[in-house]
Chain A
Amino acid sequence: MIDPHESTARSAQTTDEPANGAMPPPIRRITLDSQPTVALPPSQDAVAIANTSDRSLAAAGRPTRGVAGPERMTISDLSVFYGDNQAVKHVSLPIRQGEVLALIGPSGCGKTTLLRTLNRLTELTGSARREGLITLDGTDIDSLEVTEHRRRVSMVFQQPNPFPMSVFDNVAYALREQGSKRPKKKVLEPYVIDALQRAGLYDEVASDLDHPALRLSGGQQQRLCIARALAARPEVLLMDEPCSALDPKSTNVIEELIVELRKELAIVIVTHNLQQAYRVGDHVAFMYLGDLVEYGPTDELFDNPKAARTRDYIGGAFG
Chain B
Amino acid sequence: MSVPTRTPAPLPPLPLPRSPGGQRNGKSPKKKRVNESISTWRLTDRIGYVMMWAAGLLLCAIGIGILVFMAFKGLQYLRPDLLFSSPTADVDQSKSGGFLDPLLGTVLITLIGITIATPIAIGAATWIVEYGRPTWLARLIDSGIEIIAGTPDIVIALFGLVLFQQGIFGWMSFVATGGAVFGRSFLTAGAMMSLIALPMVFAATREGLQSIPAHVREASYALGKTKAATIRRVLLPSVKANISTGAALGMGRIAGDTAIIVVLLGASLTLDPQGNVPGLNVLKGTGGTLTSYVYNNSPAGEGNAPQKAYAAAFVLLLIVLALNFAVDLIARSGAKTGLETSRLGAR
Contacts and interface: CB of A to CB of B under 8 A. Distances in A.
A and B pair up: yes
Interface of A: 119, 121, 124, 147-152, 154-155, 157-159, 161, 163-165, 173-174, 178, 212, 214, 225, 228-229, 232, 238
A150 B218 CA distance: 11
B215 A157 contact: yes
Given A163-B238, A165-B237, A155 B337 contact: no
Given A149-B224, A157-B215, 8 more contacts: A121-B218, A150-B221, A150-B225, A151-B223, A151-B224, A152-B224, A161-B215, A225-B219
A149 B339 CA distance: 28
A164 B222 contact: no
A235 B224 CA distance: 13
Contacts of A159: 213, 215
Most-contacted residue by chain A among B224, B237, B337 (CB, 10 A): B224
Contacts of B38: none
Contacts of B216: 161, 163
Most-contacted residue by chain A among B221, B223, B229 (CB, 10 A): B223
B338 A155 contact: no
A232 B223 CA distance: 8
Contact of A214 (B215, B222, B339): B339
A119 B226 CA distance: 14
Given A157-B215, A178-B229, A214-B339, A163 B222 contact: no
Contacts of B225: 147, 150, 173, 178
A61 to B, nearest CB: 35
A152 B237 CA distance: 26
A238 B223 CA distance: 11
B233 interface: yes
Contacts of B234: 163, 173
Interface of B: 213, 215-216, 218-226, 228-229, 233-234, 237-238, 337-339
Contacts of B218: 121, 124, 155, 157
A159 B337 CA distance: 18
Given A164-B237, A164-B238, A214 B337 contact: yes
Contacts of A150: 221-225
B223 A228 contact: yes
A68 to B, nearest CB: 25
A225 B233 CA distance: 16
Nearest to B338: A164
B104 to A, nearest CB: 38
A163 B237 CA distance: 10
Contacts of B237: 164-165
A173 B233 CA distance: 8
A26 to B, nearest CB: 12
A121 B215 contact: no
A127 B10 CA distance: 52
A214 B212 CA distance: 14
Given A164-B237, A173-B233, A147 B226 contact: yes
Nearest to A150: B224
Contacts of A161: 213, 215-216, 219
Contact of B221 (A124, A165, A214, A232): A124
Contacts of A148: 224
A155 B222 contact: yes
A232 B220 contact: no
Contacts of B215: 157-159, 161
B170 to A, nearest CB: 38
12 contacts: A119-B222, A147-B224, A147-B225, A151-B223, A154-B223, A155-B218, A159-B213, A159-B215, A161-B213, A178-B229, A214-B339, A228-B223
A67 to B, nearest CB: 27
Contacts of A155: 218-219, 222
Contacts of B220: 163, 173
A225 B237 CA distance: 18
